[in-house]
Amino acid sequence: MDSILDQISRDLPAKALFIVTDVNLVRSGILDRLHPAADIPRFIIDPPGEISKHMGTVTSILEAMERANLGRDCAVIALGGGTVGDIAAFAASVFKRGVPVAQIPTTTLAQADSAIGGKTGVDSTISKNAYGTFWHPAAVFMDVDCLQTLDQRQYRAGLVESIKHGMIADQGLFSYIEQRLDAILACDPTAMTHLAYSNCRIKGRIVEQDPDEKNLRRVLNYGHTIGHAVEAASRYQLLHGEAVAIGLVAAGMIEVTLGLGQDGRLERLEELLHRIGMPTRISPYATAQQVMELLAYDKKAIDRKPRFVLTTRLGQVYCSAGQWAVEVDRKVVEEVIKRLL
């Protein structure tokens, strides 16, 4: 950790630093390991998690930065999981019209997905990530040793994004997770380093081609269309990865219905999700009606009709008329959601 802070200072010379983290990280002792950070101003998100992912928290961070007399010559350090990273980066993107952010992801979810790619955001009272910006990090630093501070539920839920990457872009990664799951669940450093590298390679390649999510980058939303709706309907009782697990199964069922998924990958997916203890059904977290209503608020929706990312085989996303997120008949979606109850 000390070396990470030193590296940030070298990469962002003459920048006054401001740390955003949450109370869980403070309790874990990770913040204490940043010895030179003792004199760095900070904002600690409390309560931690999705409940604080709203505009009020962003405003509080911005005002704390102003009280610290920071200007455009500062940089924000986002130390924590996906929620911390999203909130901190959003604040950085609008403070004094934008200052750099360095991400230090400390969860399986953040290291696999949210710290990479520059999407920031907070929730509205209706839907997830309703407000946000594209603000690419100045740097991302990953230390897989941080993952050992996570509780098992958070740790396992974050693995779903790695499974998603295998589904959309790398069947070898999917097979690796299947075969090395015991080591991954034990937080074996070699296995987790391989996972982190694979996730960065996959997401980095996609984001580089489509940084502002005009088309190709939408493939990263595989499983997220219904997943986000279920997550919001559950009032965030479900962790993001748990909701996406349900969304992945939903996408697989849509693929089978449309004749795109007859190769047994849905069965492999469900088995893998069960092995890591993920839910694969909507009930008791939400009703079919709640999910259908929330789908209209999805960011990819056009005329309130959601668009879905689908696969044709492990590692290959379905593309129709040049589009990577496609419309699916409402009756098909309704039927799949009923089957997921």
What is the per-residue pLDDT for 4?
77
pTM over 0.75: yes
Considering the domain architecture, whether residues 302 and 335 belong to the same structural domain is answered as: yes
- From the list 244, 120, 143, 135, the residue with the least C-alpha distance to 196 is 143
Rounded CA separation 189/57 (Å):
34
Considering the domain architecture, whether residues 190 and 201 belong to the same structural domain is answered as: yes
Considering the domain architecture, whether residues 203 and 224 belong to the same structural domain is answered as: yes
Instruction: CATH number of the domain at 261, please.
Output: 1.20.1090.10
4-36 pLDDT tens trace = 777 888 888 778 999 999 999 988 888 776 655
Q: Which of 103, 126, 149 is the last residue of a domain?
A: 149
- From the list 12, 13, 192, the residue with the least C-alpha distance to 112 is 192
* 247 membership: H or E segment, kind and range: helix 240-257
What is the per-residue pLDDT for 109?
94
143-196 pLDDT tens trace = 999 898 899 999 999 999 999 999 999 999 999 999 999 999 999 999 999 999
Residue 102's domain spans which residues?
2-149
Considering the domain architecture, whether residues 29 and 168 belong to the same structural domain is answered as: no
Considering the domain architecture, whether residues 235 and 284 belong to the same structural domain is answered as: yes
Instruction: CATH number of the domain at 94, please.
Output: 3.40.50.1970
Q: Which of 103, 122, 149 is the last residue of a domain?
A: 149
In this structure, the dihedral spanned by the alpha carbons of residues 41, 46, 52 and 58, taken in order and rounded to 10 degrees, is -20
Considering the domain architecture, whether residues 249 and 220 belong to the same structural domain is answered as: yes
Considering the domain architecture, whether residues 102 and 183 belong to the same structural domain is answered as: no
Considering the domain architecture, whether residues 175 and 122 belong to the same structural domain is answered as: no
Residue spans of the chain under pLDDT 50: none
Alpha-carbon torsion 221, 234, 196, 315, what sign?
negative
Q: Are 314 and 168 contacting, i.e. CB atoms less than 8 angstroms apart?
A: no
68 CB neighbour count, 10 Å cutoff: 14
What is the per-residue pLDDT for 297?
81
Considering the domain architecture, whether residues 65 and 186 belong to the same structural domain is answered as: no
Looking at the structure of the chain, the number of domains it has is: 2
Pairing of strands 316-317, 311-313: antiparallel
Considering the domain architecture, whether residues 220 and 252 belong to the same structural domain is answered as: yes
Q: Are 151 and 180 contacting, i.e. CB atoms less than 8 angstroms apart?
A: no
What is the per-residue pLDDT for 36?
59
Considering the domain architecture, whether residues 195 and 245 belong to the same structural domain is answered as: yes
Considering the domain architecture, whether residues 43 and 191 belong to the same structural domain is answered as: no
